[in-house]
Amino acid sequence: RKEVEQDPGPFNVPEGATVAFNCTYSNSASQSFFWYRQDCRKEPKLLMSVYSSGNEDGRFTAQLNRASQYISLLIRDSKLSDSATYLCVVNAGGSQGNLIFGKGTKLSVKP
Amino acid sequence: EAQVTQNPRYLITVTGKKLTVTCSQNMNHEYMSWYRQDPGLGLRQIYYSMNVEVTDKGDVPEGYKVSRKEKRNFPLILESPSPNQTSLYFCASSPTGVFLSYEQYFGPGTRLTVT
């Protein structure tokens, strides 16, 4: 069965906090990994692609551990505008076009 | 402006009445996909298309049809809608699906209610 599992959340954090989201995937043949952000009732938007070497974009850092089939997203110095649902996305192994979304983790950043 | 458009944005219909939700992109993208989003279940892929005339099932294709006769359009067809197809539907496109490391651009969503 193809699955992508995320922390259930919600995460309620103060401004300036560091928060980490975790995601595990079940198919070892998966090759493409992403974090998307979705604001309430809006369409998802790409936050970061996740590469084997890990990657950083400003306050956001994504890591991939293929051996453990684990992806993480770290947000440093949280802003109020970071409040959203974060979706882990993985392609189904053997099929680049078949994408599996996690159920998402809701983040609420408070003043 | 580069975008993915969906129509209609909101639709209320009755069981069994065939409907089509259109999706169009103006970015010359090869890859297009349909998703449904339900509370507690997240986004689930219905169908996807790697290019013109190439379509494949996602995880929840039952009760849906698609076609990709031209690059820009990817309509979603519900031949006989049922209440369990009440959902929020998103269309998305990406430059290529051959190595899907590119961003998917999502349409604004279509909220469908089947009574």
pLDDT in tens, A66-77: 999 999 999 999
Residues of A within 8 A of B58 (CB-CB) are: 98-99
Encoded tokens for B1: 């402006």
What's the pLDDT score for residue A103?
Answer: 93
| Terminal C-alpha separation, chain A | 41
What's the pLDDT score for residue A8?
Answer: 76
Nearest CA to B3 among B107, B113, B85, B109? B107
Chain B nearest-CA distance from A109, in A, is 22
Residues of A within 8 A of B104 (CB-CB) are: 44, 46, 99
* Interchain proximity A98–B56, CB inside 8 Å: yes
> Which of A91-100, B11-20, B47-56, B93-102 shows the lowest per-residue confidence on average (mean pLDDT)?
B93-102
**Who among A45, A49, A96 is closest to B98 (CB)?**
A96
Contact between residue B30 and residue B39 where contact means Cβ atoms under 8 Å apart: no
Question: Above 70 in pLDDT, residue A2?
Answer: no
* Interchain proximity B100–A104, CB inside 8 Å: no
- Cα distance between residue B64 and residue B81, in whole Å: 9
Query: Is any Cβ of chain B less than 8 angstroms from the Cβ of A102?
Result: yes
From residue A62, give the alpha-carbon distance in Å to each of A47, B32, B101: 10, 26, 14
Chain B nearest-CA distance from A66, in A, is 16
Residues of B within 8 A of A98 (CB-CB) are: 45, 48, 56, 58-59
Chain A nearest-CA distance from B85, in A, is 18
Contacts of B38 (CB under 8 A, 6+ apart): B44, B87, B88
What's the pLDDT score for residue B33?
Answer: 96
Question: Above 70 in pLDDT, residue A22?
Answer: yes
Q: Percent of chain B, pLDDT > 70? A: 96
